[in-house]
Structure 1
Amino acid sequence: MDRPTQPFDQLRRPLGVLRLSLTARCNLACPYCLPDGAEPPGLLSLEERRALVAAAVALGAGSLRLTGGEPLLNPGLEALVAAVQPLRARGLREIALTSNGVLLTSERARALRAAGLDRLTLSLDGVTGTAVARMAGLSGGDADTRRRRGEAQLEQVLAAIEHARSAGFAAERGQIKLNAVIQRGANDDQLLPLAGLARQRGLELRLIEFMDVGNRNGWRPEAVLSAAEMVGRINRRWPLDPVGRDPHGTAIRWRFRDGGGHLGVVASISAPFCGDCNRLRITADGIAYTCLFGSQGTDLRPWLRPSPDAEALERTLARLWRQRHDRYSEERTALALGDQRPAPAEMAYLGG
């Protein structure tokens, strides 16, 4: 049987990005994510993960994003990055990693670069020990103890940025970026300090609205600081000019007028971008989800075990994608008014 051509979903969206989770665990307990404490059963092997990436690339995915939980907890990370390098000849253009940065040592950064990683996005939700501790879910001890632990974590992330730079990741070419989830009443006082830090370090800062992913994070609309308000606050301090959003991109980008680099905002709540979303997510145990807010996935392990069946995998993913009609962020208002929403999967399980 012939292999499928590049599929389009029910809204004529192509498959372009595979977000592959390597673990559901994390070394932090950020309250907007709240990861699992243990792995789900049946984690994928290196061979199985490579087969999934190959199938997605065959169907048009040019970008691979390695996620978690915290992907640096996976000891096979570098081996996977190296194993998918031959897929560049078939259309894989970029391999990126999203990490909280705490475990990114100088040695690990060099190993990832040598294996063929193109880009790193590190997470930091504050610039003070108190804010970092709060947003990382650091608990135990008194406030001063938590502050000191937050300061230590902040130093680890700042060091990770420099480790990445020394390993050859070029921030000026967008190869190191900084993510920050901003939650009203929790860390919105960190907005300008984070922007100042990113400008000082020559990094593009991506500000992310607090999202209603999963069931654990206590999301409520009034805790969302909208992208427009974030941009407005920063623009009053450092004037911004609009750049726009790339096709299929998640971030609306702005340029600092004084030459201080770029800023991005991910407005999944206030300005949804479902219309050209091209991302497929596969969990660490091989379940495919066609939306970050999805409640049901498709188990791909029958086509991976006892050994991967490349053609069957491609046909299964193509069929899944052609059936896709997800646009939860655009439908959120109607659902809030009373429509029933099935219980969604958790962010750390889906790979963020």
Structure 2
Amino acid sequence: MATPKAIPTDGLGRPLGVLRLSLTARCNLACPYCLPDGQEPPGLLTLEQRHAVVQAAVALGAHSLRLTGGEPLLHSQLESLIETVQPLRAQGLRDIALTSNGTLLSANRARALREAGLDRLTLSLDGADGASVARMAGLSDAKAGERTLEAVLAAIGHARDAGFDPAAGALKLNAVIQRGLNDDQLLPLAELCRGQGLELRLIEYMDVGNRNGWNPADVVSAGAMVEHISSRWPLEPLERDLHSTARRWRHRDGTGGIAVVASVSQPFCGDCNRLRVTADGVAYTCLFAAPSSGLDLKPWLQPSSNAMDLEQALTQLWRSRHDRYSEERQASTAGREHAEMAYLGG
């Protein structure tokens, strides 16, 4: 019997568990907390190269693949990639998820994603009215916001009809909350999700990238968000899953629940197990990484490359990892340049 391969851990004893693979840096929205470039970096990975990255990550212990962007629905080979990695389930890949703003998710696309083998889908919506959506999506006016809101609500229906069941955790809604821009949308978003049977995932406004003018005064803490919603619909906490980015609560009346991603006020660096690979093949070990800290994987993704060499490069990168930016944010990282969110894949 073959000896099981040892799973590498980083410098703080954290194993690799999740690969976040960006397919594109482009997006059809211009959310002010992200501000994508609107164009691709040169040297995008091919379908075959992306498969090789996923295969190597799975060999090193990654059991979950999350496909991101930019907006991944802009990528024409999205379904092909999902189909291509299905055989890796026999090697330890258990879950394939997608994060999207939902505006491009037609009924046909939702069915195609499900048929390709996508397990989970998280859509994004930062407001429950046209004006709020416009502010948070970088749109021209409330009418444009209303159209976007209608598109996302339709996408929720398309996803549900395609078999992404919210009750099974296969369909959720993300919302980034920023003080003074959309903090008045907490209750409307919670009410929307209660009516849709969706888990609402509230995300603290983060200092990712260098363009969003982040100020800690603009952060609405997870505690404040939970307290505000619980004052209207009482909540009770659930146990946090190991390695999860979110802490979860359920409504006491049994109508759904919320989760909060509190990387500013309640950092979860201690058991972070995420590796990020950009659309052009640069690997980063932290969402808040400096641009120069990435490892370009393309030298190990050439036709003549050996798969074991790619695994070894990723192993060395992971073992040298000591990232815990959110825990150190106030101590020693002030003024540090960050890679941009749309480039890293969020």
**TM-score normalised over the length of structure 1:** 0.96
Whole-Å separation in 2 of the counterparts to 1:53 and 1:147: 40
Partner of 2:289: 294
Partner of 1:106: 107
How many residue pairs match? The answer is 342
What amino acid is aligned across from residue 299 of structure 2 in structure 1? P
> Percent of aligned pairs with the same residue?
70
Whole-Å separation in 2 of the counterparts to 1:38 and 1:275: 35
Whole-Å separation in 2 of the counterparts to 1:160 and 1:100: 9
- Which 10-residue stretch deviates more, 81-90 or 239-248? 239-248
Partner of 1:346: 340
Partner of 1:142: none
CA offset digits 1:171-193 (Å, max 9, x no partner): 11010000000000000000000
Whole-Å separation in 2 of the counterparts to 1:220 and 1:51: 39
Report 1:206-285 matches (<5 A).
206-285=201-280
Partner of 2:187: 192
Whole-Å separation in 2 of the counterparts to 1:5 and 1:56: 13
Shift of residue 305, structure 1, vs aligned partner: 1.3
Report 1:6-155 matches (<5 A).
6-139=7-140, 146-155=141-150
The correspondence for 1:321, drawn from 306, 318, 323, is: 318
Show structure 1 runs of 5+ residues with no match. Answer: 140-145
Shift of residue 340, structure 1, vs aligned partner: 5.4
Shift of residue 3, structure 1, vs aligned partner: 10
CA offset digits 1:135-190 (Å, max 9, x no partner): 00013xxxxxx111110100000000000011111111010000000000000000
For residues 64 and 251 of structure 1, do their structure 2 counterparts lie closer, same or farther at Cα, with a shift above 3 Å needed?
A: same
CA offset digits 1:243-301 (Å, max 9, x no partner): 03110000000010000112100000000000000000000000000000001200000
CA offset digits 1:69-122 (Å, max 9, x no partner): 000000000000000000000000000000000000000000000000000000
Partner of 1:166: 161
- Which 10-residue stretch deviates more, 302-311 or 275-284? 302-311
Whole-Å separation in 1 of the counterparts to 2:304 and 2:337: 32
What amino acid is aligned across from residue 319 of structure 1 in structure 2? Q
Shift of residue 235, structure 1, vs aligned partner: 0.5
Q: 2:238 aligns to what SS in structure 1?
A: strand
Shift of residue 37, structure 1, vs aligned partner: 1.4
For residues 159 and 70 of structure 1, do their structure 2 counterparts lie closer, same or farther at Cα, with a shift above 3 Å needed?
A: same
Whole-Å separation in 2 of the counterparts to 1:252 and 1:119: 18
What amino acid is aligned across from residue 216 of structure 1 in structure 2? R
What amino acid is aligned across from residue 348 of structure 1 in structure 2? A
Shift of residue 342, structure 1, vs aligned partner: 3.5
Partner of 1:143: none
Whole-Å separation in 2 of the counterparts to 1:259 and 1:351: 34
- Which 10-residue stretch deviates more, 308-317 or 264-273? 308-317
Question: CA contact under 8 A between 1:287 and 1:299: conserved in structure 2?
Answer: yes
Shift of residue 343, structure 1, vs aligned partner: 1.2
Indicate the RMSD between aligned Cα atoms, in angstroms. Answer: 1.2
Matched, 1:201 2:196: yes
Shift of residue 307, structure 1, vs aligned partner: 4.5
**TM-score normalised over the length of structure 2:** 0.97
